[in-house]
Structure 1
Amino acid sequence: MNKYAVWFRHIVWLGIIQDWVIGLPAIFAPNWLLELLHQRPSQDPVWTSFAGLLVVLLSLFYIPGANDPYRYTPNAVLATFARPPGVLFFFFLYPNIYPAFGIIDLVLCLFQIPLLILTMLNKPQPSTPDNDVFEYDGSTYKEVKEVGFSGPYGEPLPYQQGVGLTTFVQLFNDAARNLFDRRDIRPHYDKLIHANGVCYTGLWKITEDSPYTGYFSKGSEGLVFARLSVAGAGIKRGDRRALGLAGKVYPTLNPDEKAKPGNFVTVDYLTGIKTKHITDTELTNFPDVGPDIGAKLVNRVIFRLVDKRPGFRQVFPISTLGVEPGGKVVTPDLFMLRVAEGTPKIDAEDFRDELRLEKYPNHTLVYTINVKNFDEKEWTKLGVIELNDYAICEGCDKRIHFWIPRDIPVPKRDSLARPSDPVVIK
C-alpha cells in the first residue's frame, strides 16, 4: 500500500464509523438522535429509522474497499461516490431541513475523491506471476516446505484472528477464489476460517489392494505436505473445536521434482465438538454441519453461493494423480482419516501443543487412509499418512494454500448420499 492508499483507507473507515455512529442510534431512537444533533425532529420516525438501517447496511459494502482498494476497487468507488448524492439531496433537493448530514457527506467527498484518484493513479504493477491467480505450473515439495516452515513462532504461541466484522464480506470473495486458485504458495494473506494451524511433512503410502486409480492404487508412495487446523475461535481444550486436515500429495519421492500435487480437504464436524484430545476425532471429506447457526450460515449460505454442495469435497485430485490423459479413473466417494490405533493421548490446552511431534513415538504422527462409497457401510483401510516433521509458524498460517475443487455431480451415485445432506444436481 502506498501513502495515498493508506490515507484513503483511513478516510473511508472514518466514513464507515460515522455511518454506524449515526445510523445505529437512528434505527432505535430516531428523534432522540436528531435532537442530540440539533436537527429538526421527524414527523414520521418509522421512515427515519428505516433510513438509518439503510445507511448501516450500505456501509457494509464499503468495508472491502476500505481494507484493500486495489483488490476491491468497485467497493472503493462505491464508498466514494455514494457521498455526492447525499450532498445533492440535503443541499439542493431538500435544503435547510437536515443540513448536518449534507455537511458530513461534503467533507468526506472533499477527502475521498482526490485520494481515490491518487490511489488508482499510483496502483502498483504486478511484478511476479504470484499476483495472477491463474498462473500455476506446479511446485516442488522442497519449496513448499521452505515457505510453510518459515517464520517460526515464539512462546507463547500467537492467536490468529479469523473472520470478523471487517472481513466478513471478504469471506465471499475468498470462498470463490479457493475453487479456482491452484497455487500452493500465495503472497501473505489471512486465512478467515482455519486461521490457526500446524504444518507437517511426511509420506503418503497405499499398502492394500484397491479398485481405485491414481494415488489410491496399491503401491503408491509420495511426499505429503499437510496442515492440521481448527476452524473458528475455539482452539483450546474445553472449546468446541472443528479440526481440519488439508493435504497435498506429490506423485514423487524427490523433493526437488516439480509437480502438481493432488489436494484434499477433510474436517471432523463443521460445528465443532468438545473432545479431551484433538486426535480423538475422525476427519472426512463429507462432514456433518451440526446445529450451530454460524456454521450453517457459512456452509449452507455463503459457500453454497459459489458451489452447489460445499460440504462435500471430492477426492478426484488424488485418484487422477499420475494417470495418463484419457486413462481410466476410479474415485471413492468418501475419504476418512483416523489416527492410527495405539497412538498415545497427549494432554495440552492448545491443540497446537497437543500436536507437537516430539510427544509421539519416533516423532511421527500416523493417520490411516480409509475410503468407501455411498452404498457401502464399512470403511476400507488402504494405507497411511506418516507425518514426521512439523512447524508452527507464520508461513504455515499465512502463505500455504490448498485448492478446493468444485463439486462434479455423478447423479446415480450421488442419489445414495446420506439423506441429511440432500444432493443438488447441477
Structure 2
Amino acid sequence: MNFGPENFGPEGVTAQDRDYGGSRFSEVWAGLLANRYYRIWGTPGDPPLPVYDVTLGPVLTGLFPWPKDWRFQQAANRTIDSQADMRWGSDGKGFRRILHPNGVCLKGIWKIDDAPEGTPYTGYFRRGKEGLVIARYSTCCTECRRGRYRSLALVGKLYPTIDPNDETLLRPANFVLQEDIGGAKSNYINDAEVRNAPDTTPWRRGKGLPILLITGLVLFRADKQPTFRQTYTIAELDKPGNEPTRAPEFMRLRVVDSQPRVEGADLDFREEILAQIYDKGDPRPKRKLIFNIEVSDEGESRGIFFPHRTIRNWKRLGHIVFEEAVASYNGDFVIHFHHPAWRKDRNDPSTLARRPRP
C-alpha cells in the first residue's frame, strides 16, 4: 500500500478528528502491526524499507494563490488541533507526513521508579506511576542513514493503564522530543539526546535549508513556541481535577549506558532499532530497548528563530522500556501524535496562547 506522489490524504482537521473520543491501547498497536513492510524482519531477500522523500514541492503545495489552502500550514495546525490517535481517512490510507515520513513504532512501558523523594511533579511524572507507551522514532527529513546529518525524533502516547487489553476508551498524553532540528551526527541511537526543547542549527541542513526556513514560518503561524513542546500533558494525565499542575520545564530521553550498540556502516536508524529488539528472521523479541526519563527546571534559551538552549541539573525520574517494534505503512501514514499547544504558564490551563481552530 503506497500513496502516489500527488496523494497526501487529509492534511487538515476532518470530521473524524473532531469526533475523537479516545482510543484503546490494544487497537492502536494492532493497527500498527497491520501493513508491515515485511513478513518477518530480516528475512533474506526481503526488499529494503521504503524511504519517503521530503522535497520542496509538497512543502509549498497550496500556498499560491490562497494561503488558506496551504497543505503544510493545514498539517501544522492539525497536529495541535486534533487529538486523534489514528487518522485513517475516508479511504483507509491515512495521510502523508510532510517532514517526518520515515519511522518505526515501538511498544513499551513508562516507569517512574527513580524519582527522588519530594519530587514535586504531578500526573505521570509522580513517583511510582506506570503506564503503557506507543512511540514513533523518526527522522527529519529524508536521510535515515547514520554518518549523515539527520534530526532523530521520538514522539509518544502515554496511556494511564498497565493493562494492554484495557477496554476503556482512554485519552493518552502525547509528548514530542527531537534532536537538533537542523540536524546532528549521532551515529548510534545510543548517542542521541531527544528533548522537548531542542536546539536549531540551520547550517547543518545544507540543501534542505529552504525547507527548514519555511518550516519555521509555518510553525510560528501555528503556535507561539514552535521548537518547544511543553510537558503538561504528562503532568495532567490521570491527575485529580482540584490538584494544581506541576510539570517540569524540560524533558529528555537518552538510551541507557548499558544498552548494546548495533554496528553497521550506513545503517538505517529503523534497522538499528529493530536490531536492538529482534534477531533477523525471528519474529520473537529477544531484547529490550531502554531509555532514561530525565527532567530539569533550570535552563535558558538564546536566539528567537534558531534557538540554542543551556539546560542544567537534569534529574532521572525513571525509564521507558520498549519490548516490541514494527516498521509499517500504518506507522508512517495512519498513527497521529497531538502536539500540545503553548501555555504562557505551563502549569495553568487558562493561559493557552492559541485556541483550537474549529
- Classify the TM-score, shorter chain: 0.7 to 0.9
The one of 191, 197, 205 aligned to 2:103: 197
The one of 394, 398, 409 aligned to 2:344: 409
Q: Which has the higher strand share?
A: 2
Q: Contact 1:289/1:295 (CA < 8 Å) preserved in 2?
A: no
Q: Mark the CA change 1:168 to 1:146 in structure 2 (over 3 Å): closer, same or farther.
A: farther
- Name the SS of the counterpart of 1:191 in structure 2: coil
Q: Contact 1:299/1:311 (CA < 8 Å) preserved in 2?
A: no
Counterparts of 2:347 and 2:337, CA distance in 1? 29
Structure with bigger gyration radius: 1
Partner of 2:305: none
Cα distance, 1:300 vs structure 2: 2.7
Counterparts of 2:258 and 2:153, CA distance in 1? 21
Counterparts of 2:347 and 2:173, CA distance in 1? 25
The one of 219, 224, 231 aligned to 1:303: 219
**Are residues 1:351 and 2:252 paired?**
no
The one of 301, 305, 316 aligned to 1:381: 316
Partner of 1:141: 25
Q: Which has the higher helix share?
A: 1
Cα distance, 1:335 vs structure 2: 0.3
Query: Which residue identity lines up with residue 31 of structure 2 in the other structure?
Result: V
Matched residue count = 295
Counterparts of 2:73 and 2:106, CA distance in 1? 28
Partner of 2:171: 260
For 1:209-248, what aligned pairs fall within 5 Å after superposition?
Answer: 209=116, 210-248=119-157
Superposed CA RMSD: 2.8
Counterparts of 1:69 and 1:339, CA distance in 2? 34
Q: Contact 1:130/1:186 (CA < 8 Å) preserved in 2?
A: no
For 1:332-351, what aligned pairs fall within 5 Å after superposition?
Answer: 332-348=248-264, 349-351=267-269
Q: Contact 2:189/2:255 (CA < 8 Å) preserved in 1?
A: no
Cα distance, 1:386 vs structure 2: 0.3
Q: Mark the CA change 1:373 to 1:160 in structure 2 (over 3 Å): closer, same or farther.
A: same
Counterparts of 1:405 and 1:240, CA distance in 2? 27
Deviations 1:179-227 (A, max 9, x none): 1000000011101111111101010000123210000000000000001
The one of 160, 175, 188 aligned to 2:76: 175
Partner of 2:52: 160
Deviations 1:121-168 (A, max 9, x none): xxxxxxxx9743221111010011011221110321111233540343
Deviates more, 1:281-290 or 1:370-379: 370-379
TM-score by length of structure 1 reads 0.64
TM-score by length of structure 2 reads 0.76
Cα distance, 1:67 vs structure 2: 6.1
Deviations 1:319-338 (A, max 9, x none): 00011223221000000000
Partner of 2:190: 279
Gaps of 5+ in 2: 1-5, 39-46, 62-70, 89-93, 204-208, 300-310
Q: Contact 1:244/1:267 (CA < 8 Å) preserved in 2?
A: yes
The one of 246, 254, 258 aligned to 1:330: 246
Gaps of 5+ in 1: 1-65, 73-128, 414-424
Q: Mark the CA change 1:205 to 1:164 in structure 2 (over 3 Å): closer, same or farther.
A: same
- Name the SS of the counterpart of 1:162 in structure 2: coil
Counterparts of 1:68 and 1:201, CA distance in 2? 27
Cα distance, 1:278 vs structure 2: 2.8
The one of 397, 400, 403 aligned to 2:335: 400
